[in-house]
């Protein structure tokens, strides 16, 4: 019974979070001092500097009609909620009209998922191993060295680190390409090879930054746990240090790290804005950036709604799975 | 985001500048093969000369580098590389080679002479009667689409009918108001009937600046499609290149010279294009684009900052800007920059206040702070490009010198150009012009005096008071103002806003610069949600700038809060409106056109709804390592407008260096 009650409460909170989230996402862009039609006209007139006022009036009318921006905000909101719930359709992108937002997201998502999932998991694994060693074997010189490197890299702003990598590995030692050029298509070997080759530098930059945080947090957790009574007791029992580290310290220190990993995987759907811009990598971050710059309501709503659902879902899954990971936690 | 961008650029420039890796001299920086032979980078061969062996080098899209011209994409990544329907607004990135190489216009422009020239049309519209509503023109004979089908007047007729019949197309309203009918009377003759009397049909259907929205589509393909949904994914045109390949992500587009290039517009009108392939490629943020050119992986760059140009010319001896020496940048871009007033808002509804701000502008220091002095001033409502300087700026000099404010004060300062040259000399700048005429041609005919005392007189006359160092408004409150500025685009206008704000702050006004992203920036101007904006409502290229001035008619003024179709400064001037009405009825070549526009300019000087400051300086360098024959100030067959539809006219001039 406790489980069903727990499940119901979590489902209700999930639905509420998503509903409030998409409502906010609908209204916030409309309160911005910008208008997608005006942005498009501004761009056209800035380029051409030749469009008569009458032309602008008629163009504005046509665009408003095409973009579905006619009617009151309330009408638009009701239409939006219906579309999202019933057909999961976010309408056409206004900046890339008439491409459907769903199509743009579907194109960008695999790139973002591929890059961020891989780099997040690699960073998590490396960071936790190094952090565990640094926290448990804190007197060893290699532990100190690894910790020092992590602490040095972690505070560097991501964009600086990424830029330094580009300078080092694309310019001074041009091992990796300056901009991504993907060869081949689909699941061909040529394409896979090309994607991997072009993704190494952006992934490396994310792994370097991500690893630092995991090292520091794991080190703090494991060094604290290493001082716990039950760990001391295990030592007194004569268990090997390796066994103590892997069987006593790691499982306990890993719990919050697993939680954080699940939440970070949820945020993957936000994309990696700076990475995508700096490395010319296609993904959700670029879409969000374009949406905001061009006041593309539908694109903003589509990408942010996806992100809200992903984070809420990740939280829901973590809540649901936690009792399986930690026996001390019960469905209450 | 702006700070991030600035940081990116600064970091890149610092690291690039500090690096000893001078690729232009020894190619070391781009030296290594990456395990595959399909990169565009140089192969390290130990040869210290820039003439390193490079035969057989391939671009990263698989074409021989020596046959491929690589061009930056001004607008960046294309959101939909499969869509080439130019009539559905939004998704087509025209500046990725689409309108530069493939699509063609009826009439193009020669920006050096300031005249329209035939392209797909063979003649200019001739009026068929005295009503100015019926015209006839011929189209070129012997041209074909890139799929081999002949291009005829029937394609023009079909395109016009398609636009006017399809309400879903973005320009439907515009064309419906302009064109009543367009008929092909034979394969090469078009008769046009307009809705209202027209005196500038070629300007409306042809290129004046950048391109035109009337792009002729192939009837044999489009007649089977719904124009509102057709993607035109395998596009064709009458231009000299055809699309060979594209990046599914929209970062590059590869164009190949047509085998039957003789049957393209350029083949007939100019000659054979030089490059076999033209690759339009987006490398990313500015620092990466600069690195690409340092590594000879980019031949033409679009719109970079002066600081980046400084790095580039030091690191790549083959890099070349418009001028060989200072000021390097081309100054003939057809829009000028300055401070635009919302004249519907106090105190900017008062011409004395606007004039006071002009006289509080320390224009030489503003020029230095904006683009290191590499700018040409303009005192009138027209960009100071050569054609317009010859027609307006120089002929108006006498009037400008005699012009006096109400109190008899003469604000014009003819010595600006000499003054800025002295200032630049003191800063150690070399290669400056020495001849008096050349100095004026380079830096402008003159501007307004920097005279805070006269500005104070004008303000005090209108109830402003000075409290210590600060100006108070007539109601006794401190004078505060906000200047709207672009955030991550139009770098000259962005910097100009900060420089002007600094100048006005020094005079005791509390000035805030509000940087805005594109959508907010344009929306604020249109709805009148601004006091002062670093906008550019003064463009022109032909001597007849009527088309660019029409929007200043007072009939387009709408209340603040409503989207303005024109006259975004909401400046009402009876005489300007009357002169515009007169211009509308005059043919473009009527001598009275120049007179009327000159009179309009005088009204603008008196009313100052926009303080024109500088023409736009563009740093659009080229790399002459692989390709040569580019236009420069010494080889000025055209301006360096790589993002305009006329690019195709440059291609026959470009020759491989053989490297």
The count of CB pairs under 8 A between chains A and B is 235
For residue B47, name the pLDDT band (cuts at 50, 70, 90): very low
Q: What is the per-residue pLDDT for B15?
A: 41
Q: What is the per-residue pLDDT for B189?
A: 98
Q: What is the per-residue pLDDT for A282?
A: 84
Please determine, for residue B517, whether its predicted confidence score (pLDDT) is greater than 70.
Answer: yes
Contact B75/A at CB under 8 A? no
- The residue-averaged pLDDT of B336-361 equals 98
Q: Which two tokens stand for residue A75?
A: 């009408």
Strand partners, A197: none
Q: What is the per-residue pLDDT for B272?
A: 98
pLDDT in tens, A220-253: 899 889 888 988 898 888 888 889 988 889 988 8
Q: Which two tokens stand for residue B242?
A: 């055809």
pLDDT in tens, A251-276: 888 888 888 888 888 777 766 888 88
For residue A61, name the pLDDT band (cuts at 50, 70, 90): confident
Chain A residues close to B41, C-beta within 8 Å: 174
Contact A35/B at CB under 8 A? yes
The CA distance from B98 to B172, in Å, is: 21
Cβ–Cβ gap A293/B518 under 8 Å: yes
The CA distance from B568 to B558, in Å, is: 9
- The residue-averaged pLDDT of B109-134 equals 95
For residue A181, name the pLDDT band (cuts at 50, 70, 90): confident
Q: What is the per-residue pLDDT for B203?
A: 92
B10-19, B434-443, B596-605 — which is least confidently predicted?
B10-19
Backbone angles phi, psi at A176, to 5 degrees: -110, 155
The CA distance from A198 to the nearest CA of chain B, in Å, is: 12
Q: What is the per-residue pLDDT for B9?
A: 43
Closest CA to B63 of B271, B253, B262: B253
Chain B residues close to A171, C-beta within 8 Å: 16, 19, 21, 29, 291, 294-295
Helix (H, G, I), strand (E, B) or coil at B463: coil
Cβ–Cβ gap B170/A174 under 8 Å: no
The rounded percent of chain A whose pLDDT value lies above 70 is 93
CB B102 within 8 A of CB B273: no
Which pTM was predicted?
A: 0.85
> Which of A26-30, A199-203, A323-327 has the highest average model confidence (pLDDT)?
A199-203
How high does pLDDT run on average in chain B? Answer: 90
Give the one of B89, B90, B522 whose C-beta lies nearest to A38's C-beta: B522
Helix (H, G, I), strand (E, B) or coil at B139: strand
Contact A186/B at CB under 8 A? no
Contact A55/B at CB under 8 A? yes
Contact A253/B at CB under 8 A? no
The CA distance from B152 to the nearest CA of chain A, in Å, is: 27
Q: Determine the residue among A28, A53, A159 to mutate to test chain B binding: the one whose Cβ has the most chain B Cβ atoms within 10 Å.
A: A53
The rounded percent of chain B whose pLDDT value lies above 90 is 77
For residue B213, name the pLDDT band (cuts at 50, 70, 90): confident
Q: Report the half-sphere exposure of B614 (CA within 13 A, side-chain side).
A: 33
Cβ–Cβ gap B556/A293 under 8 Å: no
Please determine, for residue B216, whether its predicted confidence score (pLDDT) is greater than 60.
Answer: yes
The CA distance from B166 to B168, in Å, is: 5
The CA distance from B13 to B5, in Å, is: 12
For residue B570, name the pLDDT band (cuts at 50, 70, 90): very high
> Which of A43-57, A76-90, A221-235, B328-342 has the highest average model confidence (pLDDT)?
B328-342
Q: Determine the residue among A29, A31, A45, A55 to mutate to test chain B binding: the one whose Cβ has the most chain B Cβ atoms within 10 Å.
A: A55
Residue whose structure tokens are 């800025």: B420
Higher pLDDT, A21 or B532: B532
Closest CA to B251 of A237, A178, A147, A267: A178
For residue B55, name the pLDDT band (cuts at 50, 70, 90): low
Q: What is the per-residue pLDDT for B51?
A: 41
Closest residue of chain B to A297, computed from CA coordinates: B519
Cβ–Cβ gap B523/A57 under 8 Å: no
For residue B52, name the pLDDT band (cuts at 50, 70, 90): very low
CB A283 within 8 A of CB A199: no
- The residue-averaged pLDDT of B424-434 equals 92
Q: What is the per-residue pLDDT for B320?
A: 96
pLDDT in tens, A277-303: 888 888 888 888 888 877 788 898 898
Please determine, for residue A108, whether its predicted confidence score (pLDDT) is greater than 60.
Answer: yes
Please determine, for residue B48, whether its predicted confidence score (pLDDT) is greater than 80.
Answer: no
The CA distance from B24 to the nearest CA of chain A, in Å, is: 13
Q: What is the per-residue pLDDT for A275?
A: 86
In this predicted complex, what is the ipTM? Answer: 0.78
Please determine, for residue B44, whether its predicted confidence score (pLDDT) is greater than 60.
Answer: no
For residue A49, name the pLDDT band (cuts at 50, 70, 90): very low
For residue B101, name the pLDDT band (cuts at 50, 70, 90): very high
Cβ–Cβ gap A66/B525 under 8 Å: no
Give the one of A38, A59, A180 whose C-beta lies nearest to B171's C-beta: A59
Chain A residues close to B517, C-beta within 8 Å: 34, 292-293
Please determine, for residue B29, whether its predicted confidence score (pLDDT) is greater than 60.
Answer: no
Higher pLDDT, A82 or B443: B443
A153-162, B110-119, B472-481, B640-649 — which is least confidently predicted?
A153-162
């Amino acid at each position: 019974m406790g489980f069903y009650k727990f499940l119901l409460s979590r489902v209700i909170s999930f639905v509420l979070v998503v509903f409030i989230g998409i409502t906010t996402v609908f209204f916030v862009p409309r309160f911005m001092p910008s208008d997608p039609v005006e942005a498009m006209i501004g761009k056209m007139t800035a380029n051409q500097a030749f469009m008569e006022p009458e032309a602008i009036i008629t163009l504005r009318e046509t665009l408003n009609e095409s973009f579905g921006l006619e009617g009151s905000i309330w009408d638009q909101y009701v239409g939006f909620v219906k579309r999202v719930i019933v057909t999961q359709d976010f309408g056409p992108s206004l900046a890339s009209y008439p491409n459907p937002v769903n199509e743009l997201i579907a194109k960008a998502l695999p790139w973002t998922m591929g890059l961020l999932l891989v780099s997040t998991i690699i960073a998590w694994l490396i960071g936790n191993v190094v952090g565990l060693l640094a926290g448990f074997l804190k007197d060893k010189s290699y532990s100190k060295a690894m910790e020092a490197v992590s602490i040095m890299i972690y505070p560097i702003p991501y964009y600086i680190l990424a830029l330094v990598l580009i300078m080092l590995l694309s310019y001074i030692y041009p091992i990796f390409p300056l901009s991504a050029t993907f060869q081949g298509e689909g699941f061909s070997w040529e394409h896979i090879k090309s994607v991997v080759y072009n993704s190494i530098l952006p992934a490396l930059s994310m792994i370097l930054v991500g690893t630092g945080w995991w090292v520091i947090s794991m080190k703090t957790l494991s060094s604290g746990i290493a001082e716990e009574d039950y760990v001391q007791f295990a030592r007194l029992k004569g268990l090997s240090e390796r066994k103590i580290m892997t069987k006593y310290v790691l499982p306990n220190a890993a719990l919050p790290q697993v939680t954080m990993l699940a939440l970070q995987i949820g945020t993957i759907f936000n994309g990696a804005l700076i990475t995508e811009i700096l490395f010319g990598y296609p993904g959700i971050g670029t879409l969000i950036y374009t949406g905001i710059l061009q006041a593309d309501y539908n694109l903003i709503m589509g990408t942010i709604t996806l992100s809200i659902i992903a984070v809420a879902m990740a939280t829901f899954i973590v809540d649901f799975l936690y009792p399986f990971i930690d026996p001390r936690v019960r469905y209450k | 985001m702006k700070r991030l961008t600035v940081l990116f650029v600064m970091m890149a420039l610092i690291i690039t500048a500090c690096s000893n890796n001078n690729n232009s001299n020894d190619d070391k920086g781009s030296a290594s093969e990456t395990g595959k032979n399909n990169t565009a980078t140089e192969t390290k061969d130990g040869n210290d000369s820039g003439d390193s062996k490079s035969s057989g080098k391939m671009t990263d899209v698989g074409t021989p580098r020596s046959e491929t011209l690589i061009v930056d994409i001004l607008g960046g990544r294309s959101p939909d590389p499969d869509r080439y329907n130019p009539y559905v607004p939004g998704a087509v990135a025209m500046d990725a080679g689409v309108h530069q190489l493939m699509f063609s216009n009826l009439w193009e422009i020669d920006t050096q002479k300031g005249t329209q020239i035939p392209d797909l049309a063979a003649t200019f519209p001739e009026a068929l009667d005295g009503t100015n509503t019926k015209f006839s023109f011929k189209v070129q004979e012997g041209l074909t689409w890139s799929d081999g089908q002949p291009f005829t007047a029937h394609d023009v007729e079909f395109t016009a009918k398609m636009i006017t019949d399809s309400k879903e197309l973005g320009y439907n309203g515009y064309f419906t108001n302009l064109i009543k009918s367009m008929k092909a009377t034979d394969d090469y003759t078009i008769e046009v009937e307009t809705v209202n009397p027209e005196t500038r049909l070629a300007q409306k259907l042809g290129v004046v600046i950048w391109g035109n929205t009337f792009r002729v589509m192939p009837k044999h393909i489009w007649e089977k499609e719904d124009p509102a949904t057709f993607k035109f994914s395998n596009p064709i045109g009458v231009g000299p290149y055809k699309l060979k390949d594209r990046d599914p992500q929209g970062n590059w587009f590869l164009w190949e010279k047509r085998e039957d290039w003789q049957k393209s517009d350029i083949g007939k009108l100019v000659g054979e294009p030089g490059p076999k392939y033209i690759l339009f490629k987006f490398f990313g943020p500015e620092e990466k684009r600069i690195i690409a050119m340092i590594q000879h992986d980019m031949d033409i760059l679009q719109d970079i900052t002066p600081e980046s140009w400084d790095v580039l010319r030091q690191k790549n001896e083959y890099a070349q800007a418009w001028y060989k020496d200072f000021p390097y940048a081309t100054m003939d871009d057809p829009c000028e920059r300055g401070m635009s007033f919302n004249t519907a808002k106090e105190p900017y509804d008062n011409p004395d206040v606007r004039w006071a701000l002009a006289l509080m502008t320390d224009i030489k220091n503003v020029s230095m702070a904006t683009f290191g002095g590499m700018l040409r001033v303009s005192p009138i409502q027209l960009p100071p490009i050569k054609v317009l300087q010859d027609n307006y700026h120089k002929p108006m000099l006498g009037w400008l010198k005699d012009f006096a404010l109400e109190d008899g004060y003469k604000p014009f300062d003819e010595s600006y150009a000499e003054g800025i040259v002295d200032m630049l000399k003191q800063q150690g700048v070399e290669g400056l012009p020495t001849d008096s005429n050349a100095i004026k041609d380079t830096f402008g005919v003159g501007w307004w005096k920097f005279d805070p005392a006269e500005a104070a007189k004008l303000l005090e006359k209108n109830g402003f008071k000075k409290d210590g160092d600060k100006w108070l408004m007539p109601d006794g409150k401190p004078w505060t103002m906000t200047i709207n500025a672009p955030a991550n685009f139009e770098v000259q206008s962005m910097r100009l806003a900060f420089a002007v704000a600094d100048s006005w702050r020094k005079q005791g006004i509390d000035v805030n610069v509000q940087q805005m992203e594109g959508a907010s920036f344009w929306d604020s101007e249109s709805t009148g949600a601004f006091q002062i904006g670093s906008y550019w409502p003064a463009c022109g290229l032909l001597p007849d700038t009527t088309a660019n001035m029409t929007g200043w008619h007072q009939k387009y003024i709408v209340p603040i809060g409503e989207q303005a179709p024109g006259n975004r400064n909401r400046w009402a001037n009876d005489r300007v409106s009357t002169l515009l009405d007169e211009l509308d009825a005059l043919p473009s070549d009527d001598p009275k056109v120049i007179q009327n526009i000159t009179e309009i300019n005088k009204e603008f000087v008196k009313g100052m709804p926009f303080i024109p400051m500088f023409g736009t300086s563009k740093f659009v360098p080229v790399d002459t390592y692989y390709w040569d024959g580019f236009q420069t100030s010494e080889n000025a067959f055209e301006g360096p407008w790589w993002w305009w539809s006329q690019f195709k006219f440059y291609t026959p001039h470009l020759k491989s260096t053989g490297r």
